[in-house]
Amino acid sequence: MIKHIFKNFTFNPKNDILSGLTVALALVPEAVAFAFVAGIDPLVGLYGAFMMGIITSLFGGRPGMISGATGAMAVVMVYLIQKGNEVGLSLDKPIDNLGVQWLFITLLVVGVIQISAGVFKLGKFVRLIPYPVMMGFVNGLAIVIFLSQLGMFKKTTNGETHWLQGQELWIMIGFVALTMLIMYFLPKITKKIPAALVAIIVVAAITIFGKIDVSTVGSFIKDGGGEGLKGSLPSFQFQLFELFHTLSGHWNVILSSAFVLAAIGLIESLMTLNLIDEMTETRGSGNRECIAQGSANIVNGLFGGMGGCAMIGQSIINVTSGGRGRLSGIVAALALLSFILFGAPLIEKIPIAALVGVMFMVVIGTFAWSSFRILHKIPLTDAFVLLVVSVITVWKDLAVAVIVGVIISALVFAWKNATMIRARKHIKPNGTKVYEIWGPLFFGSIQNFNSKFDVKNDPDTVEIDFMESKVADHSGIEALRNIANKYLNVGKKVKLIHLSPDCKKLLLKNNPDFASIIEESIDDPRYYVVTDKLDAEV
């Protein structure tokens, strides 16, 4: 038993530790950048990444998956924080940075929503996401990661941001290329050490010992308005009663933001879980991940972190570097904390170019290049969904893209199935007309279903056989009830045959008199439909 638990904790300690260190280095600029996007102190993003990482690594549903502060959630936080700051300044006794306090309260609500999703086992629904949506999500996310790294090719001077030019630009490009080359060729020589970690160390050593002036993690933080990897976390700076009093009339902002953040966090986390499942050919638990993500966001709200969700880029870095166990995520989180507390001076010297090169390799590995090859071979609707999801992921965000993709796929599926319903007709020797229904009966196929019957000209006795059909929803039940009543209203006999038990139950619930027209099927030679009566006899 102990051995089994240990294997779940780490499959290869060396690989998990080294890949965890690599991920920790990549987490620093990402967490800082997303904190700037949200308009909060970099330390809030860094500590948020630590708390998300350690909790989800220990208790999450997917060993090897990395969580932290993310851009998708940071974009939503901007409005919440700005609104809170406006309210804080409008009070009789103005309160600075009230928006950050509102963020912490919102994260508590986010956590409750996400935990509820796990408790009610909603995580399994990620398995229903169609493959074209998944492929579009992957491609769109690769483009988003690529575009986010282009911001690293900019520099802030005297409060103005502009693109790097001349020698600075070429040095940046050179070190990015060197990082990518090391990551590409080193695995061909040896896979015993993570190529990304070696690339970062090599590029950092060249810039430090060669005294080459390049943009570093430290300069990046300072250019964004921070003071570096030092300082203290913000917390609830005044009485909770006063804090909640400021929310009077503004709970709608908190609750709406919480639901959006929870949805984005869960969708991004579960989609990442699904992707890592495919890469590792294993299976994680979506419901467990929901609970872990929610718990981590609650801890962030209580202790002053930014919150977040799964990070696909860092998760891919971890898995491709050999990190498959929970130990890799734990090492990444603890290493990040160590960087903040003890290694700040050294980490601040790491060139941004090295980290950009690592993320560019992630982009190359993430993008589904096969989509170009199969685009003209798959159904036109699937190709359309793939492209739409990719575009919306870049244009809006992941959550919107996935929702739109699933809706389009569902509508296409409904339309196709609506046209599939058929009715084979024949007359028995005793004069009874039989309609053998084939295909699903649901809201989309009702019109076609109704058109199959000729109530006026049919004989006095009719049978409707559902052996090769399935009544899929309430709309189908209503259609069945209506067609039966049409025959009964003109004085004709109708029998409903081979209805499923759940269909019978729903039909009889509001129409108990239908018991006489529903025929109990004792045995079905094709589907072996066994009734409750037969079960009782056995």
Residue 157: strand pairing partners: 160
How does strand 433-441 pair with strand 461-471? Answer: parallel
User: Which phi and psi (to 5°) does residue 471 adopt?
Assistant: -80, 110
Q: Are 268 and 117 in contact (CB under 8 A)?
A: no
Tokens standing for residue 200: 């970062």
387 and 523 both lie in a single domain: no
Q: Is the pLDDT score of 528 beyond 50?
A: no
Tokens standing for residue 184: 């590409």
Q: Is the pLDDT score of 234 beyond 60?
A: no
Q: For position 436, what pLDDT does the model report? A: 94
Looking at mean pLDDT, say which of 27-36, 121-130, 482-491, 529-538 comes out highest: 482-491
37 and 164 both lie in a single domain: yes
324 and 263 both lie in a single domain: yes
How does strand 67-68 pair with strand 433-441? Answer: unpaired
437 and 365 both lie in a single domain: no
Q: For position 529, what pLDDT does the model report? A: 42
Tokens standing for residue 118: 């796990």
Task: Please give the radius of gyration of the chain, using alpha carbons only, rounded to the nearest integer.
Answer: 30
Q: Could you give the CA distance from residue 150 to residue 169 in angstroms, rounded to a whole number?
A: 12
Q: Are 77 and 342 in contact (CB under 8 A)?
A: no
Q: Domain holding 529: CATH number?
A: 3.30.750.24
Q: For position 533, what pLDDT does the model report? A: 43
Q: Is residue 407 part of a domain?
A: no
Q: Is residue 2 part of a domain?
A: no
Q: Could you give the CA distance from residue 29 to residue 194 in angstroms, rounded to a whole number?
A: 19
Q: Is residue 414 part of a domain?
A: no
387 and 449 both lie in a single domain: no
129 and 173 both lie in a single domain: yes
Q: Is residue 136 part of a domain?
A: yes
Token pair 């007359």 is found at 427
Q: Is residue 401 part of a domain?
A: no
Calculate the CA 95 to chain-centre distance.
36
Angle, alpha carbons 397-355-60 (nearest 5°): 55
110 and 238 both lie in a single domain: yes
Kindly report which listed range (20-29, 277-286, 338-347) carries the lowest average pLDDT score. 338-347
Q: What percent of the chain has pLDDT over 70?
A: 90
Q: Is residue 9 part of a domain?
A: no
How does strand 518-519 pair with strand 461-471? Answer: unpaired
481 and 347 both lie in a single domain: no
Q: Indicate the residue type of 324.
A: R
Q: How many domains does the chain have?
A: 2
Q: Which helix (H) or strand (E) holds 439?
A: strand 433-441
Q: With cut-offs at 50, 70 and 90, classify the pLDDT of residue 488.
A: very high
Tokens standing for residue 269: 């986390």
Q: Could you give the CA distance from residue 41 to residue 59 in angstroms, rounded to a whole number?
A: 28
**Once rounded to an integer, what is the mean pLDDT over residues 242-262?**
81
Instruction: Note the pLDDT tens digit of each residue in 175-211.
Output: 999 999 999 999 889 877 778 888 989 999 999 999 9
Tokens standing for residue 339: 């960087």
386 and 424 both lie in a single domain: no
Q: Is residue 413 part of a domain?
A: no
Q: Could you give the CA distance from residue 388 to residue 132 in angstroms, rounded to a whole number?
A: 10
Could you give the C-alpha distances from 141 to 133, 136, 395, 531, in angstroms and in order? 12, 8, 11, 50
Q: Is residue 105 part of a domain?
A: yes
pTM, full prediction: 0.72
38 and 97 both lie in a single domain: yes
Instruction: Note the pLDDT tens digit of each residue in 292-341.
Output: 999 999 999 988 899 999 998 889 889 988 898 999 999 999 999 998 88
387 and 490 both lie in a single domain: no
219 and 299 both lie in a single domain: yes
Q: Supply the range of the domain harboring residue 452.
A: 419-537
Better-scored residue on pLDDT, 398 or 273:
273
Kindly report which listed range (236-240, 501-505, 531-535) carries the lowest average pLDDT score. 531-535
Question: How does DSSP assign 158-170, residue by residue?
Answer: TTEEEE--HHHHH
Mean pLDDT of the chain: 85
